[in-house]
Chains A and B, each alone.
Chain A
Amino acid sequence: MTLEKKIKPGSLDTGPDEGGLSRRDFFTAAGAAGVGAALAAGGGTEAAASPIASSSMEWDYEVDVVIAGGGCAGITAAIRARDAGASVLVVDQNFDLGGRMLHSGSFLSLGGGDAIQLRDMAGEADAEGFITVPPVEDPEELDDSVDLLFTDVTDWSIVDRKAQSPYRYNDRELMRAWAENCPATREFLMANYVRFTRINGTHGGGGLSRARAPYCFLMLGDRTDIRAGTITAEDAGVADPERTSAMAPVQMEDASTFVGPGAVRNGVALARPLEFSAREKGVHFMLNRRFTDLIREQPFEGRILGLRASYSPRIHPESGQRLESFWQNGNVDERRETITIRARKAVILASGGHAGNPEVRAMFYPAMREPAFPTSGMALQGPGGQDASALIAGLRVGANLSGMQQNLSYPTTFHIATRLGTRDAYTDMMPGHPTFAFRGSAGLAVGNVGFEEFIAVNQVGKRFFNEVRLPKRPGANRYPGDGGAPNRGVAHVPNDWRNCRSEWVREMYNYDHGLDAALAMNEGSTAPDYHSGPIWAIFDADAIERTGWELRFPYVNENNGYYFQGDTIESLSRQIYMNHPFQRVPLRYLSQTVETWNGYVADGVDPEFEREVDAPMYAISRPPFYALSIMVVWHDSYGGLRVNGRQQVIDMRGQPIPGLYAGGEAVGGFNKHGLGKGHVHGFIAGTHAAAELG
């Protein structure tokens, strides 16, 4: 990192080179509270959060474009608006940038005939000459167009193995805008230091007609230099198998097959280059700052004028220190409790989805209101990540929602994770990143087959499902025929009713509903919430011998409440009850359950769940006995704010809310996974936001 210029609090009158951010210093906290209180529509406690502005409103900061959230959609929008000459301020509730993009796998589905598809089709290397392997995909697989992509992502006839259709409910205007902007977004990312590997297929359920997804990579080298495309083994987290770095929360993965020797990939090779470029171009960042409310001229009328944001530092549990971002230049260190920021042109909501907010999750799937179960990446993001802040603030100014049922049709949305013994069970992270402390353990990744080795019990210690089938996910779209992508010699007729006829659904339906059993009521569920409670994997010393599982730090942690060991089942139960934060009742049936299970093992028959059909059954009899937490994880969010093809947020009357844009997981009507969605949304929103008159 060569840019070290740091903007200090109180001296923010910067020139156009730094982004033209200006600060009005005559703010008083009491004044702002007064404005809120005077105009609050319905309630004293929420006064400070009133979404209405008055003519006497004083703003703490003023800038052309304010972006809530510095992740996938947010940073993209920031660079794009800044490229067009706007001053840009990004507020992020976390201490560092990148959002979920930073710990993603960087598998980035775009397409429509984008530059990487063309490059691989021609069998060419990248401009820098890092790529030394031939293309992975045949040229026919890469032959794509905007029209084909659009047809593909609106093909209503394709269902997944739960018989849900991800595309049937997509908003066509959004899909068209997305398809048209995919090629430009690919080039935009490449122009901002993002390097792409060979294309390797695409996301299941992300549109299957063509190979559209490469990973993002960096080359291992002597120094970390984004411009040169290199990263040290230490920064990449590959120098030590059990340690990562502040730069890479998730250790980078080998990408040699898709690039050549020495290439590593994951979201670090996407998020850090974009962040580097944004800082270089003069985007301002206000970290540790949680946006809470939009400020509009009238409650449900007029322009969006700006937003309100509150201080949200993340304090390291051991050191007591505030966590600081990896890079600092462009940061605005503002520590007042609540501030207002005026957006001369527009506000862009890019603060992610609702997967981490159990109360809002209930809008989509009431059984997932159980707070024991988190979203993916909760350690890195903290409690403010994925907390539905965009959705909530949008509703308060009259925004419409879209695609409320779309969470049901993607296999990663909610499922049982196969990483045990950590709350943050979707992502992995090793010590070395400052937020490791919030998870305490990396978790033990056992795969689906690991579930053959134990019994799974609910909060009262009873088995509730066939363990072997418990972690199975429905899988993505199935095209009739070979069930895979309609390439490789399988002709596919889009929008043909036969693609989803009931005979085909009967043939390929393969969902076991273990998740629903895990969320079911049990004897420990009490009114008014009837929470299902946590679930536990119970096994013994023999299981360790069979599997070689390493029950030690950093995989498990004796003190974080997600792993227990005892000489008897009784002591195991007691410890869980005493030390797990969501264990509300004793596991009073556990001893009996283990005894019954051992009887089934002796008989070779499990009358309750027919386990003998699926895999061998093992007695749980040799101490010590172990318990590892099993998590239901809500990963992606698919329903959210309704937007149009320009990413403008739409109100209940179908009209755009002037000055308000949104993208990424904050929006609905767009059932497509991850980064491909977020970057294009950010690209479109940044383009139009910067063009507003202001």
Chain B
Amino acid sequence: MGLTHARTMTAVALAASILAPAARAQGADGANALAAGQTLYEANCAICHQSSGAGRPPAFPDLRGNDILADPYVLVSKVAQGLGNMPPFPTLTAEEIAALATYVGSAWGNSYGAPTEAEVAEILADFDPPMAPRSIWDGVYTEAQAERGAQVYRAPCGICHGTRLNGAPDDNDMIPGPALARHNFLRIWDGRSLGMLYTYTISTMPQSNPGFLPPEDYAAIIAHMLAVTGAPPGDAELPADAWELGHIQILPAP
């Protein structure tokens, strides 16, 4: 444990000195892709893998010196389709994924290179095409599902996030959690997908025992969060499927 840690600390120090020259070595297009990739990374990836790339192993792998990045097929398919704790990002275009790959392939001292946009497109062709994107304001859950979610939510989540989902714990001995509804929730998750929220929740919550509820319960809890936030219900339930949920964006109230 301690040893691994010592190694990663050195990696951080190295990253600081290497990143700048590496970035400069790119051509003009490369530099644009790098900048675009970094923006995408901060918005979509940093919540788990951290801006430093260090992640939070074992749930969220360290991307520094991570040889998985050397395999374009694994990288692209993981980003597009997700796997385990990794949420799918089915709405990212080949250009965006290529930019992301450029960034993580060269940031923090990495030198893995990256697939081109065309190469990414070729890999994506192996998978189902994306569905039409929607937002949480399009009636994406049912009232009954949200009601069930409220029931499931109460004991394991309310302890820290509160009956009102405002991050005021029901249990006084717990440290307050983030708000899970209304304007604070919308601000923090703005632009992200329900697929990401769903996967993130399963892999981190409840803190003492992540993922112990059945997947349908996690989907129902998210339905409850949307209901309290004021997003309207619809005719179909939120699916307990990260890929499908990956098409539904969290956006400000219209």
A188 sits at the interface (CB 8 A): no
Residue of B nearest to A484 (CB): B207
| Size bracket, chain A contacts | 35 or more
Q: Which residues of B contact A485 (CB under 8 A)?
A: 208
Residue of B nearest to A480 (CB): B5
Q: Which residues of A contact B170 (CB under 8 A)?
A: 253
- What distance in Å separates the Cβ of A13 from its nearest Cβ neighbour in chain B? 44
- Give chain B's interface secondary structure class: loop
Contact A200 B208, beta carbon cutoff 8 Å: yes
Give 1 or 0 for each of B169-193: 1 = CB within 8 Å of chain A CB.
Answer: 1111111111100111001000000
Contact B156 A471, beta carbon cutoff 8 Å: no
Cα distance, A307 to B101, chains bound together (Å):
74
Residue of A nearest to B52 (CB): A507
- What distance in Å separates the Cβ of A199 from its nearest Cβ neighbour in chain B? 9
Q: Which residues of A contact B158 (CB under 8 A)?
A: 253-254
B2 sits at the interface (CB 8 A): yes
Contact A483 B172, beta carbon cutoff 8 Å: no
A87 sits at the interface (CB 8 A): no
Contact A498 B173, beta carbon cutoff 8 Å: no
Contact A616 B187, beta carbon cutoff 8 Å: yes
Residue of A nearest to B155 (CB): A257
Residue of A nearest to B173 (CB): A105
Interface residues of A in 413-448 (CB under 8 A from B): 418-419, 426-428, 445-448
Cα distance, A123 to B158, chains bound together (Å):
25
Give how many A-B residue pairs fall within 8 Å (CB-CB). 133
- Contact for A498 among B6, B59, B151, B183, CB less than 8 A: B6
- What distance in Å separates the Cβ of A121 from its nearest Cβ neighbour in chain B? 14
Residue of A nearest to B213 (CB): A257
Q: Which residues of B contact A481 (CB under 8 A)?
A: 1, 4-5, 57-58
Contact A418 B187, beta carbon cutoff 8 Å: no
Give 1 or 0 for each of A86-115: 1 = CB within 8 Å of chain B CB.
Answer: 000000000000000000110100000000
- What distance in Å separates the Cβ of A155 from its nearest Cβ neighbour in chain B? 13
Stretch at the interface among A312-320, A486-494, A528-536, A651-659: A486-494
Cα distance, A232 to B168, chains bound together (Å):
27
B162 sits at the interface (CB 8 A): yes
Contact B5 A498, beta carbon cutoff 8 Å: yes
A674 sits at the interface (CB 8 A): yes
Name, among A427, A449, A488, A546, the residue most crowded by chain B CB atoms within 10 Å (CB to CB).
A449
Q: Which residues of A contact B206 (CB under 8 A)?
A: 200-201
B3 sits at the interface (CB 8 A): yes
- What distance in Å separates the Cβ of A236 from its nearest Cβ neighbour in chain B? 14
Contact A254 B176, beta carbon cutoff 8 Å: no
Given A200-B208, A450-B166, residue A426 in contact with residue B172 (CB < 8 A): yes
Q: Which residues of A contact B32 (CB under 8 A)?
A: none
- Contact for A449 among B3, B174, B184, CB less than 8 A: B184
Contact A496 B171, beta carbon cutoff 8 Å: no
Contact A490 B58, beta carbon cutoff 8 Å: yes
Contact A503 B9, beta carbon cutoff 8 Å: yes
A376 sits at the interface (CB 8 A): yes
Residue of B nearest to A376 (CB): B172
Residue of B nearest to A482 (CB): B56
Contact A447 B179, beta carbon cutoff 8 Å: yes
Interface residues of A in 298-318 (CB under 8 A from B): none
Give 1 or 0 for each of B193-208: 1 = CB within 8 Å of chain A CB.
Answer: 0000000000000111
Contact A449 B172, beta carbon cutoff 8 Å: no
Cα distance, A663 to B183, chains bound together (Å):
46
Residue of A nearest to B3 (CB): A498
Residue of B nearest to A419 (CB): B168
Contact B166 A447, beta carbon cutoff 8 Å: yes
Contact A254 B179, beta carbon cutoff 8 Å: no
- Contact for A257 among B152, B177, B184, B187, CB less than 8 A: B152
A154 sits at the interface (CB 8 A): no
Contact B2 A200, beta carbon cutoff 8 Å: no
Contact B209 A447, beta carbon cutoff 8 Å: no
Residue of B nearest to A261 (CB): B151
- Contact for B176 among A471, A480, A483, A546, CB less than 8 A: A471
Q: Which residues of A contact B56 (CB under 8 A)?
A: 482-483
B154 sits at the interface (CB 8 A): yes
Q: Which residues of B contact A492 (CB under 8 A)?
A: 1
B37 sits at the interface (CB 8 A): no
Q: Which residues of A contact B109 (CB under 8 A)?
A: none
Q: Which residues of B contact A484 (CB under 8 A)?
A: 207
Cα distance, A376 to B3, chains bound together (Å):
42
Q: Which residues of B contact A471 (CB under 8 A)?
A: 176
- What distance in Å separates the Cβ of B126 from its nearest Cβ neighbour in chain A? 31
A412 sits at the interface (CB 8 A): yes
Contact B2 A498, beta carbon cutoff 8 Å: yes
Contact A211 B179, beta carbon cutoff 8 Å: no
B65 sits at the interface (CB 8 A): no
Cα distance, A490 to B209, chains bound together (Å):
14
Cα distance, A489 to B210, chains bound together (Å):
13
- What distance in Å separates the Cβ of B5 from its nearest Cβ neighbour in chain A? 5
Cα distance, A256 to B164, chains bound together (Å):
18
Contact A489 B58, beta carbon cutoff 8 Å: yes
Contact B59 A482, beta carbon cutoff 8 Å: yes
A637 sits at the interface (CB 8 A): no
13 contacts between A and B (CB under 8 A): A105-B171, A105-B174, A201-B208, A250-B172, A445-B164, A447-B177, A449-B179, A450-B167, A480-B5, A482-B57, A483-B56, A485-B208, A503-B5
Interface residues of B (CB under 8 A from A): 1-6, 9, 56-59, 151-152, 154-156, 158-159, 162, 164, 166-179, 182-184, 187, 206-210, 212-213
Q: Which 9 A-B pairs have the closest CB atoms?
A: A201-B208, A498-B2, A447-B167, A445-B168, A447-B168, A257-B155, A449-B179, A254-B154, A448-B176
Contacts beyond the supplied A255-B155, A376-B172: 17 A-B pairs with Cβ under 8 Å: A107-B173, A201-B208, A250-B172, A254-B155, A447-B177, A449-B178, A473-B175, A484-B207, A490-B57, A490-B58, A492-B1, A496-B2, A498-B1, A498-B2, A503-B5, A504-B5, A548-B182
